[in-house]
Amino acid sequence: MRQLSYSEAIREALRLEMRRDSNVFILGEDVGQFGGCFGVTGDLWKEFGEDRVRDTPISETAIIGTAVGAAVTGMRPVAEIMFCDFLTVCMDQLVNQAAKMRYMFGGKAVVPLTVRTPVGGGISAAAQHSQSLEAWFTHVPGLKVVMPSTAADAKGLLTAAIRDDNPVMFFEHKLLYPVKGDVPEGEYVIPLGQADVKREGSDVTVIATSIMVNRALEAAEALAAEGISLEVIDPRTLVPLDEETILASVEKTGRVVIAHEAVTRSGFGAEIAAIIAEKALDYLDAPIKRVGSKPAPIPFSGVLEQFVLPGSQDIIAAVKELV
């Protein structure tokens, strides 16, 4: 199959959806001629023009506010927030406005809004440009939360997000942008709420999100050599969450490691662990283990940053405590 990078796959989804539906448009900082801070929107402005690939002032509140206003009146905006850390600047428009409008208005409004934003560390960008804040948004009823780990998933899920009639938070990982993978050509939609078993195994279930899926696959490869078989599950969307696939795997293995790059404390892993504890305690042969960032802001210096961020060796260590 044809290979695309994660960022090319995202761009392809944007391009196809913009061709298909004239109500879809992009807005964000430097998304036009500049092509986006991480080059994701690339040359889209050439095909669609400045009206549909709109450069905004540095005004995150206005970016999301404008997107919400446009969405509720018939458009289908895709807003880019340059780093997920800057979502903090526009939280009201997301959390109090976008997420709740439909409900507060008795189901009479639709807010078909997609917010794309990169998470993650690993590039010495320090504490205000490296966070993974996805869990915050899973706590807000009304928002959907998507977090792809591969190029193909990014294309299929972004297409679904854009077509969805709800506000969808779409978290990309900045280290994944150049990573290539097979991506189906033409229209490709992955329904929100379907997990993917990235590797089948029998001893331990590793539920991983975003870049930690790659780390889990590395760990699986390394442990296979030692005769330990990991099953790697990528939920792909956190809200809605495919509990069934997760619970089925837990039933099979009886052992669980949950891995995400966000700080472990109150990360989405806590929610997954709670669901397993509530619904699958009988299947468990060992305590649930969580792997995530240590509880610190992301530091600048590489040695410190690598210490704080989780890696495949942390997954391996967690697995070894279970088997």
Partner 1 sequence: MEKEKLVDLYRQMVRVRQFETKVSELFAQGKIPGFVHLYIGEEATAVGACANLRPDDYITSTHRGHGHCLAKGGDMKLMMAELFGKKTGYCKGKGGSMHIADMDVGILGANGIVGGGLGIAPGAGLSAKLRGTDQVTACFFGDGASNQTTFHEGINIASIWRLPVIFICENNQYGISLHQSKHQRVADVADRAVAYGIPGVVVDGNDVMAVYEAVGEAVKRARAGEGPTLIEAKTYRWHGHFEGDPTVYRSEKELAEWKERCPILRFGKHLVEMGVATEQELDTIKAEVDNEVEEAVRFAEESPLPVPEEALEDIYA
Ligand X SMILES: Cc1ncc(C[n+]2csc(CCOP(=O)(O)OP(=O)(O)O)c2C)c(N)n1
**In this structure, what DSSP letter does residue 94 have?**
I
Q: What letter would DSSP give residue 178?
A: T
Is 80 near ligand X (CB under 6 A)? Answer: no
Strands (E), 49-189: 53-55, 76-80, 114-119, 144-146, 168-173, 180-182
Return the CA Rg of the chain. 19
Question: What are the helix (H) ranges across 174-289?
Answer: 211-224, 243-253, 268-280
Binding ligand X (rule: CB under 6 A), the pick from 29, 80, 164, 234 is 29
| 139 is annotated as an active-site residue | no
CA gap 323, 320 in Å, rounded: 5
Return the residue of 125, 179, 189, 317 that touches partner 1, per CB under 8 A. 125
C-alpha distances in Å from residue 290, one per residue of 29, 258, 278, 279: 35, 5, 16, 18
- 123 in contact with ligand X (CB under 6 A): no
Q: Which residue has the tokens 């780390």?
A: 215
Backbone angles phi, psi at 163, to 5 degrees: -80, -15
Question: Which region among 32-40, 41-49, 194-202, 263-271 touches partner 1 (by CB under 8 A)?
Answer: 32-40
Query: Which partner from the list partner 1, ligand X, none does 304 bind, CB cut-off 5 to 8 Å by kind?
Result: partner 1
Q: Does 37 bind partner 1 (CB under 8 A)?
A: yes
Does residue 267 belong to the site contacting partner 1 (CB under 8 A)?
A: no
Query: Using an 8 Å Cβ cutoff, are 224 and 196 in contact?
Result: no
178 near partner 1, rule: CB under 8 A:
no
Query: Per CB under 6 A, does 60 bind ligand X?
Result: yes
Binding flag, residue 107, partner 1 (CB under 8 A): no
Member of 133, 270, 284, 304 binding partner 1 (CB under 8 A): 304
Contact between 120 and partner 1 by CB under 8 A: the answer reads no
Residues that bind ligand X (CB under 6 A): 29, 58, 60, 82, 86, 89
Q: Catalytic positions, please? A: 129
